[in-house]
Amino acid sequence: MTTAMLKYFHINNKAQSKTKILKFPSLCFVSFIMIVFSLFFYIYSINELTRGAYLIKNYEKQQNNLLQKNKNLEVDFAKSGFMGNLETKTKELSFEKTKKIKYIQIQTLDDPLAAAK
Protein backbone atom coordinates (compact mmCIF):
# COMPACT_ATOMS: atom_id res chain seq x y z
CA MET A 1 0.00 0.00 0.00
CA THR A 2 1.09 3.45 -0.66
CA THR A 3 1.41 6.20 1.89
CA ALA A 4 -1.52 8.04 0.29
CA MET A 5 -3.73 5.03 0.82
CA LEU A 6 -2.59 4.64 4.42
CA LYS A 7 -3.21 8.32 5.03
CA TYR A 8 -6.66 7.98 3.49
CA PHE A 9 -7.51 5.00 5.74
CA HIS A 10 -6.19 6.90 8.75
CA ILE A 11 -8.34 9.96 7.97
CA ASN A 12 -11.32 7.75 7.23
CA ASN A 13 -10.95 5.90 10.55
CA LYS A 14 -10.71 9.21 12.44
CA ALA A 15 -13.88 10.46 10.77
CA GLN A 16 -15.75 7.28 11.59
CA SER A 17 -14.61 7.33 15.20
CA LYS A 18 -15.81 10.94 15.54
CA THR A 19 -19.23 10.04 14.15
CA LYS A 20 -19.41 7.09 16.56
CA ILE A 21 -18.61 9.42 19.42
CA LEU A 22 -21.29 11.83 18.27
CA LYS A 23 -23.86 9.03 17.84
CA PHE A 24 -23.16 7.44 21.21
CA PRO A 25 -24.04 10.46 23.42
CA SER A 26 -27.23 11.16 21.49
CA LEU A 27 -28.22 7.49 21.87
CA CYS A 28 -27.47 7.68 25.59
CA PHE A 29 -29.49 10.88 25.93
CA VAL A 30 -32.51 9.42 24.11
CA SER A 31 -32.26 6.24 26.20
CA PHE A 32 -32.03 8.28 29.40
CA ILE A 33 -35.10 10.34 28.42
CA MET A 34 -37.04 7.16 27.61
CA ILE A 35 -36.10 5.59 30.94
CA VAL A 36 -37.10 8.72 32.87
CA PHE A 37 -40.39 8.92 30.98
CA SER A 38 -41.10 5.23 31.64
CA LEU A 39 -40.33 5.70 35.33
CA PHE A 40 -42.69 8.65 35.66
CA PHE A 41 -45.41 6.80 33.75
CA TYR A 42 -44.98 3.77 36.04
CA ILE A 43 -45.25 5.92 39.17
CA TYR A 44 -48.32 7.69 37.78
CA SER A 45 -49.99 4.37 36.90
CA ILE A 46 -49.36 2.90 40.34
CA ASN A 47 -50.69 6.08 41.96
CA GLU A 48 -53.90 5.96 39.89
CA LEU A 49 -54.38 2.26 40.64
CA THR A 50 -53.94 2.84 44.37
CA ARG A 51 -56.33 5.79 44.32
CA GLY A 52 -58.95 3.71 42.49
CA ALA A 53 -58.67 0.88 45.02
CA TYR A 54 -59.00 3.38 47.89
CA LEU A 55 -62.13 4.92 46.35
CA ILE A 56 -63.71 1.50 45.83
CA LYS A 57 -63.01 0.59 49.46
CA ASN A 58 -64.63 3.84 50.68
CA TYR A 59 -67.68 3.30 48.45
CA GLU A 60 -68.09 -0.23 49.79
CA LYS A 61 -67.95 1.09 53.37
CA GLN A 62 -70.60 3.70 52.56
CA GLN A 63 -72.76 1.07 50.90
CA ASN A 64 -72.52 -1.24 53.93
CA ASN A 65 -73.40 1.65 56.27
CA LEU A 66 -76.42 2.57 54.17
CA LEU A 67 -77.59 -1.04 54.03
CA GLN A 68 -77.34 -1.30 57.82
CA LYS A 69 -79.27 1.96 58.27
CA ASN A 70 -81.91 0.71 55.83
CA LYS A 71 -82.37 -2.51 57.81
CA ASN A 72 -82.70 -0.54 61.04
CA LEU A 73 -85.28 1.74 59.47
CA GLU A 74 -87.27 -1.25 58.20
CA VAL A 75 -87.32 -2.75 61.69
CA ASP A 76 -88.38 0.57 63.23
CA PHE A 77 -91.11 0.97 60.65
CA ALA A 78 -92.42 -2.53 61.31
CA LYS A 79 -92.47 -1.87 65.05
CA SER A 80 -94.22 1.46 64.71
CA GLY A 81 -96.62 0.25 62.02
CA PHE A 82 -99.63 -2.02 62.32
CA MET A 83 -97.84 -4.92 63.99
CA GLY A 84 -96.43 -2.72 66.73
CA ASN A 85 -99.87 -1.23 67.45
CA LEU A 86 -101.48 -4.67 67.35
CA GLU A 87 -99.21 -5.94 70.08
CA THR A 88 -99.99 -3.02 72.41
CA LYS A 89 -103.75 -3.28 71.73
CA THR A 90 -103.83 -6.99 72.56
CA LYS A 91 -102.08 -6.29 75.85
CA GLU A 92 -104.51 -3.44 76.65
CA LEU A 93 -107.56 -5.60 75.93
CA SER A 94 -105.99 -8.55 77.79
CA PHE A 95 -106.41 -11.01 74.96
CA GLU A 96 -105.14 -14.54 75.49
CA LYS A 97 -104.09 -17.32 73.19
CA THR A 98 -106.87 -19.72 72.36
CA LYS A 99 -106.41 -23.24 73.61
CA LYS A 100 -109.69 -24.81 72.61
CA ILE A 101 -112.21 -23.57 70.06
CA LYS A 102 -115.93 -23.86 70.76
CA TYR A 103 -118.39 -23.24 67.96
CA ILE A 104 -121.85 -21.77 68.55
CA GLN A 105 -124.55 -22.93 66.19
CA ILE A 106 -127.20 -20.39 65.25
CA GLN A 107 -130.49 -21.63 63.93
CA THR A 108 -131.82 -19.57 61.07
CA LEU A 109 -134.73 -19.78 58.69
CA ASP A 110 -134.25 -21.44 55.33
CA ASP A 111 -133.83 -18.13 53.54
CA PRO A 112 -131.91 -15.60 55.63
CA LEU A 113 -132.64 -12.75 53.21
CA ALA A 114 -136.39 -13.22 53.55
CA ALA A 115 -136.16 -13.11 57.34
CA ALA A 116 -134.29 -9.81 57.23
CA LYS A 117 -137.05 -8.09 55.21
DSSP sequence for the chain: --HHHHHHHHHHHHHHHHHHHHHHHHHHHHHHHHHHHHHHHHHHHHHHHHHHHHHHHHHHHHHHHHHHHHHHHHHHHHHHSHHHHHHHHHHHTT----SS---------S-HHHHH-
Task: Please give the pLDDT value at position 65.
Answer: 96
Report if pTM > 0.85: no
Taking 50 as the pLDDT cut, the residues of the chain under it are none
CA distance 78 to 85: 10
Task: Please give the pLDDT value at position 88.
Answer: 78
pLDDT tens digit string along 33-45? 999 999 999 999 9
Task: Please give the pLDDT value at position 84.
Answer: 67
Task: Please give the pLDDT value at position 26.
Answer: 80
Task: Please give the pLDDT value at position 103.
Answer: 83
CA distance 79 to 38: 62
CA distance 19 to 93: 109
Task: Please give the pLDDT value at position 29.
Answer: 87
The residue extents of the domains of the chain are: 15-86
Task: Please give the pLDDT value at position 16.
Answer: 62
